[in-house]
Amino acid sequence: MLHVIAVSFLIGILLILNTNLAHAGKANVSDDDLNDQKLLQAEKISGKIRIDGILNENFWKQAKFSSEFQQQEPGDGDPPSEKTEIAALYNDDYLYFAVKCFDSEPEKIIRTELRRDAFMDKNDYFEILLDTYHDKRSGFYFLFNPYGNKRDAKLDDEGRNYNPEWDGIWECKAKIIDQGWFAEIAIPWKTLRFVEGEEIYFGANFGRMIRRKNEKLDWNHIPRNVGTWSIFKLTYAGHLGPFHNLKQGGNLEFQPFVVGGLQNDLQTDFDFLRNLDMGLDAKMNITSNLVADLTFNTDFAQVEADQERVNLTRFSLYFPEKRDFFLEGAEIFNTSGGSFRGHRGMGGTPQIFYSRRIGISNGQQIPLWGGAKVTGKIGKYTIGVLDMQTREKKYTFYDEQTTVPSTNFGVFRLKRDLFTRSSVGILFTSKIEENNSRSNQAFAIDSRMGFSPTMSLTTLVASSNTSDESDKKNKMANASFNWRTDIYGAGLSFLDIQENFNPEMGFVRRKDVRKTSANIFYSPRSERFKAVRKFSYSISGSYLTDQQNYLLERSVSASYRIFFENSARLMMRLAREYEYLPYDWEVRENIEVKEGIYQGYSFWAAFRSNEARPLNLALTSAVSHYYGGTRYSMSSGINWTGFSRFTLNSDLNFNQVELPDASFHTFTVSNRLIYAFSTEAYIKAYIQYNSDRLRFDDRVKWNVNILFRYIFRPGSDFYIVYNQEQLVGNNNDELTNRTLMAKVVYFWRK
């Protein structure tokens, strides 16, 4: 059990380790390394730069701009169609960048997103990747568009562990002018993590997307053959520096918050309850590369509701984490090991730590007393410690009174870098219910061997122990080999999960199984068709048995894809599938599928249109066998940016299930409407409709989530949130939740 006392003890050990290993983590770069890759020289200045995107300061006139960008797409290493320049300066407080994205047709520059952290892959954009430890593994990622809108992330293992929910404090302003679009960026040293030294260098790379041409540029060229998300391949990064006598600074950060509003739901007997509460999030830099996060009376009022999804399988759906405290540093707690995405019910590698197990039960928010987290890197060691305490909560679930006891959750993670791109690590989780001393622990060892930028082997072995359950047959193992280039790729994966493996702080889709998966693909570039960039052909197969090697599922599929020059895609897949259903299963109320063997074909086709257009579509259609019957599926995704500052995202999903003795259909719609007043303020309405009547007593479900956010200074936010959930129909309308809340968060750093 990792109580606060234990966390404090571990922090003390880490401080001792930091003293002993500080020299090992020093970011020295040899002359040979500097000569092997490009160097962007960063000059030190005595003054401060005003961030406005105009680049009229004398400092920039004296800076050394680099214009050595090359194409990665469509031509590997070809000269760019438009010129790009970048320069770097720094002082004791900030790292500055100036970016010049020249464009011969500035009126065609695409910029649609003004909302902080929005996906900007449909925009022109520029990206900065900083390997601050110069370990060629981990880094900070910054992306912005011609509006100056920002998105950022932290990554580890060259992007295999990627956390886009990290929100750093930094400034960016951009302007469109006659020559193209220019930008200024200021990143406080307090935002980054690095090893202090008299003279250090960062690893760095930069990229640009010219959206209307679907042209991708990079600064220190990364061969297209290394595969997707290649900018994260830090072994190909150049150098940024030298930086002299850098100091981290900013040892303390505080984010107090006040939240208040009205609540009307089942938990208040449908009487309006006035709520007023406050809490505190704090951050302390133990060293320049080790940080402690503290939270008290944690609140997540501004978190968006989960998307409505229809489950037509026998197994649980996976929902992503959206809460800030758990998202920051999440990449550290991820374990290696992976398998190919399986078909219906086959699942993937278990997640030993799944943070949604803390503070959420059956979709209900469980109040948190608070907790502590320590994350960082010491030499070749990456370290993460988490301890959280929840309060007791009683609620009604399916007309039954449920009590969740006050519970302590603890996690410890330690990973060591090996060679150039390999690592080995351990993960330990502990859950203890305080009223009955019931406990559950899990222990895992994972490794990743990177043989080259395109070839790797990952392994994961784990066991669990529960105080009131058997400690036999409680283990799992996974091994996955992957080789992936731009043209060729193959993979082989094996997964074994015993019947009593039960990490209660993790996510396990299915137990008592053994699964083998294989995949091979070929993606040649098109030379004959000018509108086509490349084709892709793939074959994959999966074989799933129980622990007695009795066949449960089998699948063989062939896929064909066309990638067009304008970013549109056409995809098709044909599969032959086999499934043994070991028991009678009620798909929906009074609709039962009998035990037995079911097999047949499935066909899937999808099209995604040109992402540079104001209106772009993603259409999917499928026909598949379904337990002796047929399932017809259709879905569409619509993204419209026809009006300035306004964005509409709409997802529609329809299923028609025809069984020998019954039939039913489901229909879900999710609409997200966003209006951005500026890069600091926006309003978002998320409206969802679910017509899965057999789940809701012949009723439909409506969810409404409206959020207004104003960033009145970096790190400080004002929110207004309205939530409503309602079941409608069958002469039995029911309001299950209605909440109106306001929240103020203030950021202070010393």
Q: Which of 398, 291, 413, 307 is nearest to 355 (CA)?
A: 413
Give the model confidence (pLDDT) of 299-311 as tens digits: 766 666 667 677 8
How far apart, in whole angstroms, are the C-alpha atoms of residue 691 and residue 620?
19
Neighbouring-strand partners of residue 39: 239
Q: Round the average pLDDT of the chain to a whole number and report it.
A: 88
How far apart, in whole angstroms, are the C-alpha atoms of residue 724 and residue 726?
7
Please tell me the predicted confidence (pLDDT) of residue 3.
52
Pair 206, 126: CB distance under 8 Å: yes
Please tell me the predicted confidence (pLDDT) of residue 501.
95
Please tell me the predicted confidence (pLDDT) of residue 641.
86
Kindly indicate the confidence band of residue 116, based on its pLDDT and cuts at 50, 70 and 90: confident
Please state, for a pLDDT cut of 90, what percent of the chain lies above it. Answer: 61
Q: State yes or no: pLDDT of 107 exceeds 90.
A: yes
> pTM of the full predicted structure?
0.84
Q: State yes or no: pLDDT of 421 exceeds 60.
A: yes
Return all residues near 665 (Cβ < 8 A) that are at least 6 apart: 654, 655, 656, 657, 691
SS3 51: coil
Distances (CA, A) of 419 to 278, 380, 387, 529: 47, 10, 31, 43
Residue type, 489: G
Task: Report DSSP letters for 440-462, one per residue.
Answer: EEEEEEEEEEEEETTEEEEEEEE
SS3 21: helix
How far apart, in whole angstroms, are the C-alpha atoms of residue 680 and residue 685?
17
Average pLDDT score over residue span 213-226: 92
Distances (CA, A) of 161 to 137, 153, 334: 10, 10, 7
More confident residue, 92 or 266: 92
Please tell me the predicted confidence (pLDDT) of residue 228.
66
Average pLDDT score over residue span 181-185: 98
Query: In this structure, what token pair is assigned to residue 436?
Result: 């009955």
Please tell me the predicted confidence (pLDDT) of residue 303.
64
* Least confident window among 66-80, 149-163, 164-178: 149-163
Please tell me the predicted confidence (pLDDT) of residue 227.
66
Residue type, 152: D
**Fold observed for domain 37-244:** Immunoglobulin-like (2.60.40)
Average pLDDT score over residue span 70-94: 95
Residue type, 197: G
Q: Is 431 exposed, middle or buried (0-12, 13-18, 19+ CB in 10 A)?
A: buried
Kindly indicate the confidence band of residue 349, based on its pLDDT and cuts at 50, 70 and 90: confident
Distances (CA, A) of 676 to 116, 149, 307, 473: 10, 11, 22, 54
Q: Which of 640, 708, 635, 648 is nearest to 678 (CA)?
A: 708
SS3 622: strand
How far apart, in whole angstroms, are the C-alpha atoms of residue 619 and residue 607?
5
Give the model confidence (pLDDT) of 501-534 as tens digits: 999 999 999 999 999 999 999 999 998 899 999 9
Q: State yes or no: pLDDT of 434 exceeds 50.
A: yes
Please tell me the predicted confidence (pLDDT) of residue 436.
76
Backbone angles phi, psi at 408, to 5 degrees: -105, 130
Please tell me the predicted confidence (pLDDT) of residue 341.
33
Q: Which of 729, 668, 697, 702 is nearest to 589 (CA)?
A: 697
Average pLDDT score over residue span 630-638: 96
Average pLDDT score over residue span 167-179: 94
Average pLDDT score over residue span 184-191: 94
Please tell me the predicted confidence (pLDDT) of residue 226.
80
How far apart, in whole angstroms, are the C-alpha atoms of residue 97 and residue 55?
10
Question: Cα dihedral sign for 463, 468, 471, 475?
Answer: negative
Kindly indicate the confidence band of residue 732, based on its pLDDT and cuts at 50, 70 and 90: confident
Give the model confidence (pLDDT) of 117-143 as tens digits: 888 988 999 999 999 999 998 899 999
How far apart, in whole angstroms, are the C-alpha atoms of residue 170 and residue 189?
10
Kindly indicate the confidence band of residue 210, based on its pLDDT and cuts at 50, 70 and 90: very high
Please tell me the predicted confidence (pLDDT) of residue 440.
95
Please tell me the predicted confidence (pLDDT) of residue 261.
87
Q: State yes or no: pLDDT of 554 exceeds 80.
A: yes
Please tell me the predicted confidence (pLDDT) of residue 21.
47
Please state, for a pLDDT cut of 70, what percent of the chain lies above it. Answer: 91
More confident residue, 292 or 16: 292
Q: Would you give the DSSP letter of residue 309?
A: -
Q: Would you give the DSSP letter of residue 528?
A: S
Ranges of H-type helices in 244-403: 324-327, 330-333
Please tell me the predicted confidence (pLDDT) of residue 2.
45
Please tell me the predicted confidence (pLDDT) of residue 338.
39
Distances (CA, A) of 514 to 10, 428, 688, 707: 37, 24, 37, 44
Q: State yes or no: pLDDT of 288 exceeds 80.
A: no
More confident residue, 13 or 313: 313
More confident residue, 453 or 707: 707
Neighbouring-strand partners of residue 177: 180
Domain boundaries, the chain: 37-244
State in Å, rounded, how far the first CA of the chain is from the last one: 33
Please tell me the predicted confidence (pLDDT) of residue 734.
84
Please tell me the predicted confidence (pLDDT) of residue 315.
83
